[in-house]
Amino acid sequence: MVKVLHLKLVRELYRSKGLLLLISSIIAVGVTCFVAMQSAYHNLNEAKKRYYCQCRMADFWIDLKKAPLSELRGLHEIPGITELHTRIQFQATVDLEDFVEPVNGMVLSLPDRRQQVINGVVIRQGDYFTDRRRNEVIISEKFARTHNLYPGSSVHLLLNNRRQELFVVGTAIGSEFTYLVGPGSLVPDAVHFGVFYVKRSFAEEVFDFEGAANQIVGRLAPDARDRVDEVLRSAEARLDSYGVFATTPLRRQLSNQFLSSEIDGLGAIATVIPAIFLAVAALVLNILINRMARRQRVVVGTLKALGYTDQPIFLHFLCYGLSVGVLGGVLGSGLGYLSSTGMTYVYQFYFEFPDLRSGFYWYTHAVGVSVSLLCAILGSVHGSRAMLRMRPAEAMRPEPPRRGGVTGLERLLGSAWKQLSAIWRMALRSLFRHQFRTATGVFAAMMGSGLLVTGFMMTEAQNFLLDFQFHREARSDIDLVFKDEQGPEALAEVRRLPGVDHAEPLLTVACTFVNGPYRRKSGVTGLQSDARLTVPRNEAGEPILVPQAGLVMTRRLAKILHVTAGSKVTLIPVKGERRPVDVVVARVADSYMGLAAYSNIEYLSQLVGESLAVSGAQLLTNRRPDNLSRLYRELKQLPGVQSIQSRRDMIESLTETLLMNQYVLIGVLVIFSGVIFFASIVNASLVNLAERQREVATFRALGYSQWQIGGMFLRESLLTNLVGSLLGLPVGYGLTCLTSMLYDTDIIRLPVVAANWVWLTTMSTAVVFALLAHGVVQWSILRMDYLEALKVNE
Amino acid sequence: MRAPSEAPNATLLKMENVGRTFRMGEVAVEVLKGVSMEIVAGEVLAVVGPSGSGKSTILNIIGGLDSPSMGQVWYRGRDLTRASSGELTRYRRDEIGFVFQFYNLVPNLTARENVLVSTEISTNPLDVDHVLEMVGLTDRVDHFPAQLSGGEQQRVAIARAVAKNPTLLLCDEPTGALDFVTGKRVLRVLVDLNQQLDKTVVLITHNSALAQVADRVIHLRSGAIAEITEIEEPIAPEEVVW
C-alpha cells in the first residue's frame, strides 16, 4: 500500500477512535474470555497432571469393611493391576479445646517410614513421621493453619470411642484431596473438616486392625485404564466376603470429579462465550465499515480516477477492520492473561495444589489474536469489496436514495398505521428499510440478553439447589454417625441430650443395586415412618412419603439402573447376611446431589436380616448458643459417635461461598452483556445519525428541540433492543440448559429453574443499557453543528 | 502559439458514434447519442452545453471512468472500449489527469499529501513542490482542505492532476464552484499548464464564456454534438467575463 494512504488511514482511525474503541471492546471481551479460560484451563490441567504424578494418584479405590492383608495381596493377580496399597481409613470427631463447634476428620494411615506409595502426600511444614512417638500425626495444611496447629502442637481425636492425643509432626496436602470437602458438603471447609495421616502401626492398634485394612488404592497399566470397571468388578468378586462398600474409579473419585468438572467446564465455556462476542463484533464492524466506505465513495472514485488499482483500495478499507481486530486482540490477550492469573489465584482457595501457577501459553494468545483478526476481516470484507464493484464515475456520483415505497409493516398494520404519529412512522420505516443494521442490533441485544438470563438462571439454580437440598430435603441441624449400629436405646440417649428438640434415627446400608446388566454401588437410608428431617421430594418440591415397603429412589440412580416407579431392582447389601433381595421401587424422587435411595427403617432392617438398627441420628436443636455449646460438648463425650456434622454451620459456609460466587458471576455477566448492548447500540445509532445529519438539521430548522430529535433515535434503538432482548430470553434458557448438562454428575446436578425475576431483571437491565447508550447519541446531537450540516455557511 | 509535445495536430483520442444509456430502475435514460469527435494533441478543447447535455458523461468516457453503451473510443490507436479494467486503470494512471468540479480532495490529507497521492503511483511524475509552486500554493502546502478556500482547493486538485505528468488533462466544470475572480485565476493555471507543459486540456463547462480560452469548442445539446467551432485567437483568462 502506498504511504500517503497509510497517513489517511491513521488519521481516520484517530478520528473514529470512539466507535472503533467500542467495537474493539466487544472483540477484546471475547478474546479475554477465551484467553482467560483457556489459560486457566491449562493452568489447572498442568497442575493436576504434575500433582497426580508427584503423588502417584490412584486409578481406583476400594472401600470395604475389613479384610486381611494376605487376601488383599492376591488382587495383584487381576490383569491390569500394576500396584496396590492398603490403608486404614476412618471418620473421626476432632476435639479442639478452643473450638466448640463439631469438627470432623478423616483418619488415614500412611507407612510408618517414608516410602513411595500410591496417593502419597506432599509435606508442607515439618516432616514425615519419626521413630520418637507412635501417635504422630500429619494434618492437612489448610485445616492446620485454620486451627493454628503446627509441628510441635497436639490435637485430640475421638478414635474408636477413645479420646486420643496426637502429636503434630507436619502438615501436608495430597492429590486425592485437591478439592477437600467433608461429608454432605459441596465446598471445602477447612474450619470443620480435615485429614489426619497417622502411622500404619498406630491405626492398626487404635482401630483393632492388626494385619488388616479397609481401603485399597491401586494403579493400572495404561492399557487397562479404559476397562477399570471390569477390573473393579473382578476385585469386588474376590473381596465379596469382606463387605465391599464401594469401588470407585478415578473418574468418580470426589475430588477428581470436582476438579475435572471445573476443567472441562472451562474448556467448554472458553468456546461458547467468545464465539458470541466475536459474532456480534463482526456484524457491528460490518455496519461501521459499510458506512465508512459509503461516506468515502467520492474518495474511492477519485483514487480510481487517479489510477489506483482495486488492491490498495481494498486493503485500505480492510485495514480499518484489521486495526480494530489487532487492538481488540492485543487488549483481549493482555486482559485475558491478567484475568487468568486472577482466576488461578482464586482457584487456590478451592483447590489445593503444591504449585498452581499462572502460565503464559503463547499458542492460546496466538489463537485468540488470530480469531480476532479473522472476525475483523469477516466484518470488513463486505464493505470493502462493495466499493470495488462500483465504476469510478458511479462512485463519484452522490449515492442514490434508498428505495422508497411502502414497507411490509405498513401493509401489515393497515389502518392502524395511520394512527401512528409521523415520528413513530419515521422510526419504524427506518428500522424496516435498514434491515441488516436492524437485524444486527436485534442479534446483539439477543446475545446480551441471553448472557444475562444465563447468569441470573445460574444464580437461581444455585439458590434453588441450596433450598431444595439443604432446607427441604434434609432439614436437620446436626447429623450423627455412629461407629457401629446401635439399638433404639442410642436414639433415646440422644433425645435426652441438652438442646435437642427432636431426633430421628437413620440406618444407612451400603449395597449394590442390580437390574439386569445395570449395576451401581450406592446405599439405602432407612427413615422412620413420619420422618421430617429427611424428606424425599418430587420435582415440584412436594414431599414423598416413604412407604412401609419398597424404595424411594432418586431419579439419577433410577436412570442409571434403568428402573422406574413400580420396577423391581435387586439389592445386595454389604452388611448382614448379604443376600440379594428383590425390592420394588415404589416412587422416584428428585434430588440434585448424590445417588440416594430411601426406605422405611424397619423394612430396611428386615431386608438385611436384622432387628431394628440405627447407624446414625438426625437432630433438631434449640438454637440458643449456650445450649448448643453444651450439646456439642456432650456429643463429643458420647461413646460410639464416629462423626458429628453441624449441618447449620455447613449450610452457612456454603451459602456464604455461593453468594460470593454469584456476585462475581452476575457482575461479570452484566459487564459482558453491557459491552455488547452498549457498543452495538451506540455504533448503530451514531452511524444512523451520521447518515441523517441533514435531516436532523432540518428538524432543528423546523423548530424541534434537540431532545425531541434525540427521542426519534431513542425510539429506534429501544425497539431494536426490546425485540432482541425478548428473543434473548429463550436463548439464555437454552444456554442455561447446556451449562446444566456440563454440571451433570453423580455428585451434583444443576437444576434449570426459570423464575419471573429473571425475565424482569433481564429486560430492565437491557432498557437501562439502551438508555445509557442513548446518552452518547444524545450528546452527539447536542454537539452537532446544524449550520454546517445544512451547508448554510457563507 | 503552442508547441505540442506530440506531433502538431496529431489525433490523441477519437470517439466514433459513442452512445451512453443509464438504467435507473425501469427507466432508461439515453445521455449520449452517437457522439463522434476527436481530441488533438496540445489543444485546449472546451465542451459546452447546458445541464444534462452529457458533458460529464463524455469526460468520464474519455477518462476511462465509464464505458460507452455503443460506439468506440481510441486513444493513440488503442481501442479503449475493449480495454480490461486493469488496462483502463493503467490508462488513467499514466495518461489522464482529472480535475473535478467539487475538487474531490481527501479531507484527511494536507495539500501536499493530496498531490503525493497521485505521484506515488506514477511512473514519471513531476516534482510535487514545483507543481504546487506553479499553482501558487507554496505557502499552503501543509494545510488541510478544510483550511483552504475553494480556489485553493481547486488549485490543489489541479496540482494533483498535473503532478502525474499526464498527457491529457480533463477538467469537469473546474470553476463551477468558484467565484468570478477565483475562477479566472484557476483558468489561468490551466492555460499556463497547456502552454508551459504542453498538456492537452479538455474543459467541460456550461458557461460558454469560459470556452473563449479554448482552441476549439464542441457544443453539446441533448446528448449530441450540435456544433464544433474553432477559435482563431483564444482570449486570455483575465479577459473572460461572465
Question: What are the tens digits of pLDDT across the range B132-185?
Answer: 998 889 999 988 888 898 889 999 999 999 998 999 999 989 888 888 888 888
What does the alpha-carbon distance between residue A289 and residue A295 come to, in Å, rounded to a whole number?
A: 10
Determine the topology of domain B11-239 in CATH. Rossmann fold (3.40.50)
B238 touches A: beta carbon within 8 Å: no
Check residue A620 and give its pLDDT.
Answer: 92
Mutation pick from B23, B66, B89 vs chain A, by most beta carbons of A within 10 Å, is: B89
Amino acid (1-letter code) at residue A302: T
Amino acid (1-letter code) at residue A649: D
Nearest chain B residue to A298, by CA: B104
What does the alpha-carbon distance between residue A271 and residue A275 come to, in Å, rounded to a whole number?
A: 6
Q: How far is CA A547 from CA A531, A540, A550, A600, in A?
A: 11, 19, 7, 7
Check residue A794 and give its pLDDT.
Answer: 31
Q: Which of residues A199 and A430 earns the better pLDDT score? A: A199
Q: Which of residues A786 and A145 earns the better pLDDT score? A: A145
Decide if A306 and B121 are in contact by the 8 Å CB cutoff: yes
Check residue A793 and give its pLDDT.
Answer: 36
B164 touches A: beta carbon within 8 Å: yes
Residues from chain B that touch A306, judged by Cβ atoms under 8 A, are: 92-93, 98, 117-118, 121, 160, 164
Which member of A11, A306, A400 has the closest CB to residue B117?
Answer: A306
Mean pLDDT of A160-188: 91
Q: How many CA atoms lie within 13 A of A448 on its CB side?
A: 37
Residue-wise pLDDT for A487-501, tens only, equals 888 888 889 888 899
Nearest chain A residue to B149, by CA: A794
What does the alpha-carbon distance between residue A635 and residue A488 come to, in Å, rounded to a whole number?
A: 17
Q: Per-residue pLDDT for A1 more than 70? A: no
Please provide the DSSP assignment of A326-372 as one string: HHHHHHHHHHHHHHHHHHHHHHTTTS--SS------HHHHHHHHHHH
Check residue B3 and give its pLDDT.
Answer: 34
Mean pLDDT of A171-181: 95
**ipTM exceeds 0.90:** no
Mean pLDDT of B88-117: 86
B222 touches A: beta carbon within 8 Å: no
Which member of A8, A307, A394 has the closest CB to residue B106?
Answer: A8
What does the alpha-carbon distance between residue A318 and residue B109 come to, in Å, rounded to a whole number?
A: 19
Residues from chain A that touch B128, judged by Cβ atoms under 8 A, are: none
Mean pLDDT of A738-743: 81
Most confident of the ranges A76-80, A664-668, B102-106: A76-80
- The region, left, alpha or beta by phi > 0 then psi within -120 to 50, assigned to residue A688 is alpha
Q: Per-residue pLDDT for A792 more than 60? A: no
User: How close is the nearest chain A Cα to the Cα of B18, in Å?
Assistant: 17
What values do phi and psi take at A406, rounded to 5?
A: -75, 135
Check residue A292 and give its pLDDT.
Answer: 80
Q: Which residue has the cell 427432636?
A: A502
Nearest chain B residue to A309, by CA: B89
Check residue A101 and give its pLDDT.
Answer: 84
Radius of gyration of chain A (CA): 34
Residue A334's closest CA among A679, A661, A24?
A24
Mean pLDDT of A631-655: 82
Which member of B24, B93, B104 has the closest CB to residue A302?
Answer: B104
User: How high is the mean pLDDT of chain B?
Assistant: 88
Decide if B100 and A396 are in contact by the 8 Å CB cutoff: yes
Check residue A622 and give its pLDDT.
Answer: 83
A539 three-class SS:
coil
Residues 6+ apart with CB under 8 A from A562: A515, A516, A518
Decide if B92 and A4 are in contact by the 8 Å CB cutoff: no
User: How close is the nearest chain A Cα to the Cα of B136, in Å?
Assistant: 22
User: How high is the mean pLDDT of chain A?
Assistant: 88
The answer to whether A289 and A381 are in contact (CB under 8 A) is: no
Instruction: Give buried/exposed letters for A131-141 (b at 16+ CB in 10 A, else e).
Output: eeeebbbbbbb
Check residue B201 and give its pLDDT.
Answer: 95
Nearest chain A residue to B103, by CA: A302
Cα A777–Cα A782–Cα A787 angle in degrees, nearest 5: 120
Mean pLDDT of A39-67: 95
| The dihedral sign for the CA sequence A376, A382, A383, A388 | positive
Tell me, yes or no, if the pTM score tops 0.95.
no
Q: What percent of chain A has pLDDT over 70?
A: 97
Residues from chain A that touch B102, judged by Cβ atoms under 8 A, are: 298
Q: Per-residue pLDDT for A783 more than 50? A: yes
Q: Which helix (H) or strand (E) holds B72?
A: strand B70-75
Residue-wise pLDDT for B181-200, tens only, equals 888 888 998 999 899 888 89
Residues from chain A that touch B118, judged by Cβ atoms under 8 A, are: 306-307
Residue-wise pLDDT for A442-489, tens only, equals 999 999 999 999 989 988 988 888 889 888 898 999 999 888 888 888
Residue A331's closest CA among A592, A31, A654, A90?
A31
Q: Per-residue pLDDT for A273 more than 70? A: yes
What does the alpha-carbon distance between residue A358 and residue A43 come to, in Å, rounded to a whole number?
A: 6
Which member of B85, B92, B109 has the closest CB to residue A306?
Answer: B92
User: How close is the nearest chain A Cα to the Cα of B232, in Å?
Assistant: 33
Amino acid (1-letter code) at residue A383: G
Nearest chain A residue to B58, by CA: A393
Check residue B105 and give its pLDDT.
Answer: 84
Residues from chain A that touch B120, judged by Cβ atoms under 8 A, are: 2-4
Which member of A12, A307, A396 has the closest CB to residue B93?
Answer: A307
User: How close is the nearest chain A Cα to the Cα of B164, in Å?
Assistant: 9
Q: Look up residue A650 and give its three cell numbers.
A: 455447613
Decide if A306 and B86 are in contact by the 8 Å CB cutoff: no
Nearest chain A residue to B160, by CA: A306
Decide if B63 and A305 are in contact by the 8 Å CB cutoff: yes
If one counts every other C-beta atom within 10 angstroms of the C-beta of residue A68, the result is 14
Check residue B1 and give its pLDDT.
Answer: 32
Residues from chain A that touch B67, judged by Cβ atoms under 8 A, are: 391
Q: Which of residues A161 and A123 earns the better pLDDT score? A: A123
Instruction: Note the residue count of chain B.
Output: 242
Decide if A309 and B106 are in contact by the 8 Å CB cutoff: no
Nearest-10 crossing angle of helices A647-691, A756-783: 30
Q: B residues 88-127 near A, CB within 8 Å?
A: 89-90, 92-94, 96, 98, 100, 102, 104, 106, 108-109, 113, 116-118, 120-122
User: How close is the nearest chain A Cα to the Cα of B39, in Å?
Assistant: 20
B43 touches A: beta carbon within 8 Å: no
Sheet bearing B200-205, strands edge to edge? B96-99, B168-172, B200-205, B44-48, B216-221, B224-230
Q: Per-residue pLDDT for A49 more than 70? A: yes
Mean pLDDT of A274-288: 86
Amino acid (1-letter code) at residue B237: P
If you count residue pairs, one on A and one on B, with CB atoms under 8 Å apart, how many are there?
A: 81
Q: What percent of chain A has pLDDT over 90?
A: 46
Mean pLDDT of A179-206: 91
List the single range of A209-218, A236-245, A621-630, B72-81 with lowest mean pLDDT. Answer: A621-630
pLDDT-based confidence at A401, cuts 50/70/90? low
Residues from chain A that touch B122, judged by Cβ atoms under 8 A, are: 307
Alpha helices in A613-692 (DSSP H): 625-637, 647-691
- Bridge partners, A643 (sequence order): A481
Residues 6+ apart with CB under 8 A from B155: B135, B136, B137, B185, B186, B189
Torsion, Cα A538 A541 A542 A544, to 10 degrees, reads 40
Burial of residue B187 (number of CB atoms within 10 Å: 0-12, 13-18, 19+): buried
Mutation pick from B69, B100, B108, B110 vs chain A, by most beta carbons of A within 10 Å, is: B108
Check residue B2 and give its pLDDT.
Answer: 35
What does the alpha-carbon distance between residue A130 and residue A138 come to, in Å, rounded to a whole number?
A: 11
B215 touches A: beta carbon within 8 Å: no
If one counts every other C-beta atom within 10 angstroms of the C-beta of residue A515, the result is 17
